[in-house]
Amino acid sequence: MHTNPTHSSLVAIGDSFTEGMSDLLPDGTYRGWADLLAARLAARTPGFRYANLAVRGKLIGQILDEQVDVAAAMNPDVITLVGGLNDTLRPKCDMERVKGALTEAVERLAPSCKQLVLMRSPGRQGPVLERFRPRMEELFAHVDGLAERHGAVVVDLYGAPSLADPRMWDVDRLHLTAEGHRRVAEAVWQTLGYAAEDAEWRTPMAATLPPGWAARRVADARFARQHLLPWIGRRLTGRSSGDGLPPKRPELLPYDGPVA
């Protein structure tokens, strides 16, 4: 990690987490932690450039095939790669294939940038995700090993108590709220060597009274109907929420988006 770093360009690749769901802007587009990070970097560095190639629903093989070489060709100062979690949540998952694709992605990206950033993705508590936790932790252990071998840095979101709080997650229980994305941006910012703007990003929000039993059951039913069943349907049929969608920032251009 550098002190007093200067980064003039950033390329973010991955899936919905990096695209920015569910940090919704008034115009219906998504912002997210990568945009927030880009805004901070742009405020420090005139001419700062940013691309975001992430598309919701992408598996690590798709990220490798569709995003990695594009990002590498841009030769930015920083590349962030977060991928593989969607694979672990599929009913059938070949973890050796997932780890192999992630390894190939890192091997292509690391030489093409000054700093490669990997992550241990955040994980909230809950019965739906609990059955996939061993796969997730196997993936994160592999991320740690890749970072050590290739000089990447790892942002440990999985171990952050604040991001396990259900209030950090949108109603679909799969994507972070705006506050969750803000904390992720802070975590990456600090990992890149910048002085903390929020030294307490890992600290959970103050406790509040949980909703009552009836309110929880209504919320669970709404979640199952609107989000869980469609998600299961896509997993079983091999479809993705990102099918046919382009990346939101496909070119490495000066950043002029929403401020942090």
Axis crossing angle, helix 178-191 with helix 33-44, rounded to the nearest 10: 50
Residues 21, 25, 28, CA angle at the centre, nearest 5°? 80
Spell out where 138-243 has E strands.
153-156
pLDDT at 187: 97
**233-246 residues labelled b (16+ CB within 10 A) or e (exposed):** eeeeeeebbbeeee
Tens digit of each residue's pLDDT, the chain (260 residues): 556 688 999 999 999 999 999 788 888 889 999 999 999 999 999 999 999 999 999 999 999 999 999 999 999 999 999 999 999 988 889 999 999 999 999 999 999 999 999 999 987 665 556 788 899 999 999 999 999 999 999 999 998 999 988 888 886 768 899 999 999 999 999 999 999 999 999 998 766 556 665 555 654 455 445 545 555 565 555 655 656 789 999 999 999 876 65
Instruction: Please name every residue paired with 176 in a beta bridge, in sequence order, or none if there are none.
Output: 169
Question: Which one, of 46, 21, 26, lies nearest residue 240 by Cα?
Answer: 21
Residue ranges of domains in the chain: 9-204+213-250
| 8-state DSSP, 161 | G
Q: What is the dihedral of CA 241, 246, 252, 257, to 10 degrees?
A: -70
Distance between CA atoms of 103 and 89, rounded to whole angstroms? 19
Instruction: Please name every residue paired with 254 in a beta bridge, in sequence order, or none if there are none.
Output: 49
Tokens 């070949």 -> residue: 94
Residue 195: what residue type?
Answer: A
Instruction: Give the fold, CATH level 3, of 9-204+213-250.
Output: Rossmann fold (3.40.50)
Distance between CA atoms of 214 and 78, rounded to whole angstroms? 47
pLDDT at 227: 46
Own/partner long-range contacts of 213-222 (Cβ < 8 Å, ≥24 apart): 219/171, 222/171
Residue 249: what residue type?
Answer: R
Question: Which one, of 239, 88, 78, lies nearest residue 174 by Cα?
Answer: 88
Residue 125: what residue type?
Answer: Q
**Lateral strand order in the sheet of 49-52:** 153-156, 115-120, 78-82, 9-14, 49-52, 249-254
